[in-house]
Amino acid sequence: MKLAGRSLWEAAWARLNSLGGRTFVLLTIGITGAAVLSLTLTEMSRLRDFEALRINQLVARSVEIEQKISAASTEAEKADVMRQMLGARMHASPPPFRRNPALEAQLIEAMGKDSKPMAGPAARSACLPPDADGRVTTTNIGNGFELVLDCWVVSVVPQGDVRRAFAMFQPPVIMPVGSSSNPIYLFVLLASSALLSILVTRFITLPLRRLSDAATAFAASLDAPAADAHGPTEVKAALSTFNIMQARVRAGLRDRTQLLAAISHDLQTPLTRLRLRLENVEDETLRDRLVADVNATQVLVRQGLELARSQETTEPWSVVDIDSLVESLAEDAAEFGADVRFTAGCGSSVKVRPTGLARALNNLIDNGVKYGERVEISCQIEKDQILIRVRDHGPGLSDPDINRLFEPFIRGGAATTSAYRGTGIGLTIARALLEGSGASVRLLNHPTGGLVAEVSLPRR
């Protein structure tokens, strides 16, 4: 479980560490953060608006009380006015309170600078008569709901009069609860941000995936089609540059193949003349050695040309039955006297370049017959791969890096003895032909002896 958990973590980290993953994370965090910040600023703006509304209500009521008090001519009339004002009472002197600059500024605008207002919230007991229960600071607004009242004190200097103060109850302006702290809202916001980030990430990385697919196809086959160069300006430039590079690589390989073909063609004539002249050498032993060297040179030239051509193929892709192809190769080899048998099939078809695959398997079969005499060919399916195994019954190889034999002119084991003469290019040609079909090949020592060449084909 620990290994499985680690594997899942590594896979998740690999996805997040990709360009698409990083873009997704940045967009999700950025969109969510921007939405939360915008919502917070909106809540702060609403709070200021509600505070301004409360100040305006306090100013309107203060002006109303002051106007009615100023209109009364006697103290008895003033007392009667205050009794008619619900939740308001006069103070001989203002009690201690915390002044509110915003309220005072609004009172100056409404009453003038000469009023010299002093205003702010005070203890709720300041709004109650001396003989009242100080705990009575709520009012019933129906349905069993009681609203807590705030007490405000305003002290002004009326025109031509002494400073007087009055206290009044004012119900608070209740602002609806904001959604910025609501877990459901935050979850919906995060989910929508993630969904938008996924869509944007896929849209952004689509041209890069096209470039990656084109590079992968070009790595598997030199005649892969050019990438579709459309999209944003930068991506179009990158795809166009890649297509130019692809065309130049093809042209370079084509020129190299043509050069080798020309060299091979030009060498054939002098080598043939040389061989004919060697027939006139009287010393039979020397003549046989020289003819063998000329033949080896001709084989080397032909295989060098074949190697160059194997890396540049224009053969079309076709769907073939692997069992039929391998069985026919085994039968052809057996007709020429080789001990080659097809032992197991996989019953699968795959899209390949048939001629290239057949040539590659023939090279592997010829190597097995040459160095192992008896060859068995089998095919099986493992996960998303088709495995074709060409096993010989020779001595195998002790070299720990036996896959180096796929490099040009590298020979090992029995191939270096006088009984087994080879150029060291056959396996290189086989690998190049297999890579042209999107396949891979490796060499393995069989547990019971012999060497196994394992060809892996993707099940497209």
d(CA 207, CA 363): 40
Between the alpha carbon of residue 386 and those of residues 170, 214, 315, 453, the distances in Å are 84, 24, 21, 14
pTM: 0.49
Collapsed DSSP state (helix, strand, coil) of residue 72: coil
d(CA 211, CA 209): 5
- End-to-end, the C-alpha distance of the chain in Å comes to 32
The string of pLDDT tens digits covering residues 16-71 is 667 677 788 888 888 888 888 888 888 888 888 888 888 998 999 888 888 888 88
Give the pLDDT confidence score for residue 289 in this predicted structure: 82
d(CA 335, CA 368): 16
Query: Exposed (0-12), middle (13-18) or buried (19+): which is 62, by Cβ within 10 Å?
Result: buried
d(CA 169, CA 152): 6
CA nearest to 317, candidates 439, 149, 186: 439
The string of pLDDT tens digits covering residues 129-183 is 776 654 445 554 444 445 578 889 999 988 767 888 888 888 877 766 666 667 7
| Residue 340 bridge partners (DSSP) | 375
Between the alpha carbon of residue 185 and those of residues 26, 49, 179, 350, the distances in Å are 21, 23, 7, 52
Q: How confident is the model at residue 459 (pLDDT cuts 50, 70, 90)?
A: confident
Backbone φ, ψ for residue 204 (5° rounding) = -70, -40
d(CA 256, CA 253): 5
Mean pLDDT of the chain: 77
CA nearest to 374, candidates 340, 326, 342: 340
Give the pLDDT confidence score for residue 6 in this predicted structure: 56
d(CA 83, CA 129): 11
- State the chain's maximal CA–CA distance in angstroms: 158
pLDDT-above-90 percentage for the chain: 2
Per DSSP, the residues of 80-121 read HHHHHSTTEEEESSPPP----HHHHHHHHHHH-GGG--EEEE
- Give the alpha-carbon dihedral of 39, 45, 50, 52, to 10 degrees: 180
What sign for the dihedral angle of Cα 228, 230, 234, 237? positive
CA nearest to 102, candidates 56, 143, 142: 56
Give the pLDDT confidence score for residue 144 in this predicted structure: 47
